């Protein structure tokens, strides 16, 4: 699977070895890491104080990685709004998300999210391989099924307008209609 693994830059500064262990383990388990940018930022102050175009480039790269990923893996032991944003964005794109944390660092807000595609998991260096193996198996089982169909040009234009107005992909808009209909039946 293609894995987008990331964490807060503050977390990297404090826990680089542990976080790089997870990065290496993803590859060892036969998966592909999509990005390693956080491990290549030598100066976090310079990163945060950078130019707007650099921040925009970083943001666009993160969004592109989420789109390409089969699963998003976040290390959330350090509280971070950016990790919350990435988690929310990935779930909005119907990606399975694994949120790992160490003992005593449970992500309070993330624990309140009820979504079948989200798995919040505690780990330590002794258990990480087993935890990661099971979590990636969980992610594999939650993949969406692709469903293509033909629509008229009028429906397509209407769907384009609705998707643009709601700022969501067309598939997300259609899925929300179906989910709303399913909820009415229950």
Share of the chain above pLDDT 90, in %: 44
Please state the pTM of the whole predicted model.
0.73
User: Average pLDDT of 32-55?
Assistant: 77
- Given pLDDT bands bounded at 50, 70 and 90, which one contains residue 108? low
The predicted structure's pLDDT at residue 9: 77
Q: Looking at the predicted structure, is the pLDDT value of residue 78 above 90?
A: no
- Measured between alpha carbons, how far is 173 from 169 in angstroms, rounded to an integer? 6
- Give yes or no for a contact between 99 and 120, defined as CB atoms under 8 angstroms apart: yes
- Given pLDDT bands bounded at 50, 70 and 90, which one contains residue 23? very high
- Give yes or no for a contact between 44 and 10, defined as CB atoms under 8 angstroms apart: yes
Three-state DSSP at 33 gives: strand
- Give yes or no for a contact between 78 and 7, defined as CB atoms under 8 angstroms apart: yes
- Measured between alpha carbons, how far is 143 from 70 in angstroms, rounded to an integer? 8
The predicted structure's pLDDT at residue 93: 93
- Measured between alpha carbons, how far is 62 from 58 in angstroms, rounded to an integer? 6
User: Average pLDDT of 101-126?
Assistant: 83
User: Average pLDDT of 122-149?
Assistant: 87
Q: Looking at the predicted structure, is the pLDDT value of residue 43 above 80?
A: no
- Chain-wide mean pLDDT for the chain? 86
Tokens 């693994």 belong to 5
Helix (H) or strand (E) holding 22, with range, is helix 9-28
């Amino acid at each position: 699977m293609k894995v987008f693994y990331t964490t807060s830059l503050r977390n990297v500064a404090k826990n680089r070895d542990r976080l790089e262990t997870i990065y290496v383990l993803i590859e060892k388990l036969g998966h592909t890491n999509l990005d390693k940018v956080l491990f290549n930022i030598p100066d976090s102050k310079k990163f945060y104080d950078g130019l707007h175009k650099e921040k925009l480039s970083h943001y666009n790269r993160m969004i592109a990685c989420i789109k390409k990923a089969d699963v998003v893996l976040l290390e959330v032991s350090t509280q971070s709004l950016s990790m919350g944003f990435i988690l929310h964005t990935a779930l909005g794109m119907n990606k399975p998300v694994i949120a790992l944390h160490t003992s005593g660092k449970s992500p309070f807000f993330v624990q309140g999210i009820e979504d079948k595609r989200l798995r919040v998991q505690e780990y330590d260096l002794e258990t990480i391989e087993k935890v990661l193996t099971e979590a990636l198996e969980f992610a594999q089982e939650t993949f969406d099924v692709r469903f293509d169909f033909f629509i008229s040009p009028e429906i397509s234009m209407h769907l384009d307008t609705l998707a643009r107005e709601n700022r969501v992909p067309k598939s997300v808009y259609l899925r929300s209609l179906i989910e709303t209909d399913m909820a009415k039946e229950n």
